[in-house]
């Protein structure tokens, strides 16, 4: 690997894009050696232990070197890309004679473009013949002379095809909506594409929903490193799976878990779900049993606020939370993640429905941000979608309780003195026994069950 010694070369290091993360895997590079980059331009996508994140470069310049190939796991703080911020690509030093200065770009006899290589490229013809690496041709061979102001004698460089100017959130919006930024007319200062520009382009472009994004999101290809044999398959543990394993071990052997169960008739709740689907206030929103279960949990927490807390081991204090960041466990191609709805206690039922829909969609697309998975206070895990009756869920680290919801099934049930077929489910509440004693945990679970049995309590108890 070539070492960059010029003062004009900046090293962009792998940042900590989450809370205390130590490594990330490079999923995809969006730039090649020789490309011109601008401040705020996304250069690569990485997968942390929590989510896939796009990394913007913090300065302008020309890419000199990509330090690591796609699929490589890199420690936080390690340089991943070198960028020449002087305005041009400096010549590549010849390894046979490192002390010999390279010829000035203006003196080149052959101005034709050269193919980028891993460690950068130069315009001087080296005495050592090198085989160019495969990659997209970038016509910037003569550009250094112009950009550095060293020679007007060099032929005019071929125009470099630059990426449209847009901030990372705008790029994400365009990806989610299937909009090609190259076809969007910018209205922002200096030709920057704004969110309004993307929304304006959606109407005509909506039928052309190509899916470049899912192709990238489908990059959970750590299975490339799978070691296979006739009788066993070994898969490296990394990314979300590694983080989940560590978190579950830490939680199971730190917080003393207690799990309680209750079986409840949710027939009236299921009827309310069907009624809400017809309500104009929920038009365009996803209404399902999880919505009312989430609301029931929020009401139960309001009635028993001591359950919404965390344990501060260092200070030997119990921290009561006056807000509820409601986590929803989601199974994704990358593994289990638990994004949360911030300040869920303040949301109306339609607002909670919209938040749940957005959370689930974002998680399935692999677009959940690390911030969305931090600061949770309680969690719901819906194991019923897999046809499972119930389970003993493990607490999300730092949280006080987790509610498991089993499958809702038609079962014989004594109703008004007669055995009738009713919609029935089993709930399981695991809680940290340091924070929550048996009485408190039982009250919370009983309140949730009571609301689901008689959903009118959502009004009378709210």
Q: Which tokens belong to 317?
A: 């204090």
Q: How far apart are CA 207 and CA 195, in angstroms?
A: 19
How many angstroms separate the Cα of 129 from the Cα of each of 3, 89, 126?
20, 20, 7
Q: How far apart are CA 83 and CA 66, in angstroms?
A: 9
Q: How far apart are CA 340 and CA 333, in angstroms?
A: 18
CB 429 within 8 A of CB 259: yes
CB 393 within 8 A of CB 331: no
> 331 forms bridges with which residues in the sheet?
336
Element (H, E) at 404: strand 401-405
Q: How far apart are CA 220 and CA 53, in angstroms?
A: 13
Work out the angle at residue 181's Cα, subtended by the Cα atoms of residues 176 and 186, and round it to the nearest 5 degrees. 120
> 378 forms bridges with which residues in the sheet?
326, 401
Known catalytic residue: 257? no
Q: How far apart are CA 53 and CA 261, in angstroms?
A: 38
CB 290 within 8 A of CB 273: no
Q: Which tokens belong to 412?
A: 């014989």
Catalytic-role residue among 150, 257, 322, 433:
433
**What own/partner pairs with CB < 8 Å and gap ≥ 24 does 173-178 have?**
173/198, 174/198, 175/212, 175/213, 176/213, 176/365, 176/367, 177/202, 177/206, 178/205, 178/206, 178/208, 178/209, 178/210, 178/211, 178/213
Phi-psi region of 433 (alpha: psi -120 to 50; beta: other; left: phi over 0): alpha
CB 432 within 8 A of CB 256: yes
Q: How far apart are CA 249 and CA 223, in angstroms?
A: 24
How many angstroms separate the Cα of 202 from the Cα of each of 79, 120, 197, 295, 357?
37, 38, 9, 34, 21
Q: What is the CA radius of gyration of the chain?
A: 28
Please identify every residue annotated as catalytic.
433
């Amino acid at each position: 690997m070539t070492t960059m010694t010029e003062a004009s070369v900046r090293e962009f290091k792998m940042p900590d894009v989450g809370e205390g993360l130590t490594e990330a895997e490079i999923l995809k590079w969006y730039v090649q050696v020789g490309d011109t980059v601008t401040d705020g331009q996304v250069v690569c996508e990485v997968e942390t232990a929590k989510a896939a994140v796009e990394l913007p470069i913090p300065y302008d310049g020309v890419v000199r070197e990509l330090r690591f190939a796609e699929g490589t796991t890199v420690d936080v703080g390690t340089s991943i890309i070198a960028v020449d911020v002087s305005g041009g690509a400096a010549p590549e030093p010849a390894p046979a004679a490192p002390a010999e200065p390279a010829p000035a770009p203006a003196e080149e006899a052959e101005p034709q473009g050269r193919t980028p290589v891993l460690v950068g490229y130069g315009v001087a013809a080296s005495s050592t013949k090198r085989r160019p690496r495969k990659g997209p041709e970038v016509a910037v061979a003569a550009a250094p002379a112009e950009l550095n102001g060293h020679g007007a004698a060099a032929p005019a460089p071929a125009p470099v095809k630059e990426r449209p100017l847009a901030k990372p959130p705008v790029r994400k919006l365009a990806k989610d909506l299937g909009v090609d930024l190259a076809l969007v007319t910018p209205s922002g200062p200096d030709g920057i594409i704004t969110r309004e520009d993307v929304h304006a382009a959606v109407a005509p472009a909506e039928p052309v929903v190509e899916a470049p994004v899912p192709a990238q999101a489908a990059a959970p290809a750590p299975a490339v490193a799978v070691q296979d044999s006739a009788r066993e398959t070994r898969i490296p543990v990394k990314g979300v799976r590694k983080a989940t394993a560590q978190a579950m071990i830490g939680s199971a052997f730190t917080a003393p878990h207690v799990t309680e169960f209750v079986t409840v008739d949710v027939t009236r709740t299921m009827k309310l779900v069907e009624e809400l689907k017809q309500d104009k206030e929920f038009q365009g929103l996803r209404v399902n049993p999880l919505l009312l279960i989430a609301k029931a949990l929020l009401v139960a927490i309001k009635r028993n606020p001591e359950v919404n807390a965390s344990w501060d081991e260092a200070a030997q204090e119990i921290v009561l939370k006056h807000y509820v960041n409601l986590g929803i466990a989601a199974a994704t191609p990358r593994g289990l993640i638990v994004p949360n709805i911030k300040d869920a206690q303040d949301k109306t039922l339609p607002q909670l429905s919209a938040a749940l829909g957005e959370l689930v969609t974002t998680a399935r697309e692999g677009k959940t941000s690390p911030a969305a998975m931090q600061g949770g206070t309680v969690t719901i895990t819906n194991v019923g979608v897999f046809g499972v009756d119930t389970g003993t869920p493990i607490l999300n680290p730092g949280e006080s309780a987790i509610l498991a919801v089993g499958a809702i099934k038609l079962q014989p049930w004594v109703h008004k003195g007669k055995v009738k077929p009713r919609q029935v489910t089993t709930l399981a509440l695991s809680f940290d026994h340091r924070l929550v004693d048996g009485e408190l945990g039982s009250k919370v679970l009983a309140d949730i069950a009571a609301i689901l049995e008689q959903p009118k309590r959502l009004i009378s108890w709210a």
